[in-house]
Structure 1
């Protein structure tokens, strides 16, 4: 489907607004094609394949960011990731970016309010990520994803969610003015599959040992164990 001058202008404005660059606006345009449009117009491709790709890129960027920046154990990271890449989280971002105004829908979906349905908006967000990954590569896609994922993660923590080590330190320092002391008791297994055994000392009390596949995660688990005694 050949783009009109007006559509090209709309897509270029969108790129400027969200900080991305497309040489081939036709690729970006496809990201806005809901399947209801292609059901009604022969020969028009929908955004489902791009959504499939974008979902994977979104997941990888988010998981990598959480791993590099947080000390929380795997269970916490999984919960945070699930929250920030969810339909509930992505749909408001899509509205903020003006994606609802650029969606191309079939008549039936348009009439049923599809332009503001959270599932359609979130799917389009993922399709745009997929299209941008194909256009500009992983690093560019990563930068775009982090522009809205990073604030979402920070928002979760601003609501009072803290990792176990931080919680333990705050509580223990308030009580004793001292810091928890973590001890690596042993490290076993080959380099590619090690197990770390850690305990945490709070004065004359010791919690653990606990085991995990990384020292960071083992320390978090030890802190969690100690918190249960507060």
Structure 2
């Protein structure tokens, strides 16, 4: 019988054995008398899926950033150190199945092993439920980091705001022209920024684009409650699906 594994992934596996396989290190397989599979193939798959989904998310929330910036941010987000930190935050190490030797050498806290296991979990989600399942897991685990990356990478206020709002509220900010005035040679515009139905910032400028950027900057600085406030904690469900 497959044991239920509690991980806060935001996704419930239809086939819990895939998640268990994602948490099974080769050292455990080598020491087991059972015909088991390690997580190496799922890790390979998850590595490719993660790269694609992080790239997709970056383009969605930072469409105006250049290719060089997007490439640099993606590399930072999927680097071993970052993946290991995400794995530690969700307590992935305590669920790993390790051989006695790997366990004795501190494998549950080894960054490379944790990063590989996290990629395997993403690969397992993809195998279990397709791209949408993997996207759900990646958004759950990496959403706040995408927002932080935008804020620290010199991205314009509109793109930064979109990253923050999508990560924490799962919405996309919208903008509307409130008013325009002045002669053609000195036209002024006022734009409102909305999240859902709420006006969260207002900006003025000599063009609609300039006013939009000002509205986004105002939203980042003055919104109350903060747009990047952590959402209420969600009750953890068994990632393996069903009830224990």
* TM tier, smaller: 0.5 to 0.7
Equivalent residues in 2 for 1:65-76, closer than 5 Å: 65-70=57-62, 71-76=64-69
- The equivalent of 1:133 in structure 2 is 126
CA contact (8 A) 2:29 2:37 kept: yes
User: Structure 1, residues 60-95: CA drift from partner, whole Å, max 9, x if none?
Assistant: 111111122211111110110001111111111111
Q: Distance in 2 between matches of 1:93 and 1:50?
A: 18
Does residue 36 of structure 1 match 2:43?
no
Q: Distance in 2 between matches of 1:151 and 1:145?
A: 11
TM-score by length of 2: 0.61
Query: What is the RMSD computed on CA atoms of the aligned residues?
Result: 2.4
Q: Distance in 1 between matches of 2:157 and 2:149?
A: 17
1:155 to 133, 148, 154: 148
* Greater RCO (CA < 8 Å, at least 6 residues apart): 2
Equivalent residues in 2 for 1:39-188, closer than 5 Å: 39-42=30-33, 43-70=35-62, 71-158=64-151, 160-163=152-155
Which structure shows the higher helix fraction? 1
CA contact (8 A) 2:11 2:136 kept: no
Q: Distance in 1 between matches of 2:95 and 2:156?
A: 43
User: CA, structure 1 residues 145+72, in 2 after alignment: closer, same or farther (shift >3 Å)?
Assistant: same
TM-score by length of 1: 0.65
User: Structure 1, residues 39-67: CA drift from partner, whole Å, max 9, x if none?
Assistant: 22242210000001111111111111112
Larger CA Rg, structure 1 vs 2: 1
Query: Once superposed, which parts of structure 1, at least 4 consecutive aligned residues long, lie more than 4 Å away?
Result: none
Q: Name stretches of at least 5 consecutive residues in structure 1 with no aligned partner.
A: 167-176, 182-230
How many residue pairs get aligned? The number is: 163
Q: Distance in 1 between matches of 2:157 and 2:15?
A: 48
CA contact (8 A) 2:9 2:141 kept: no
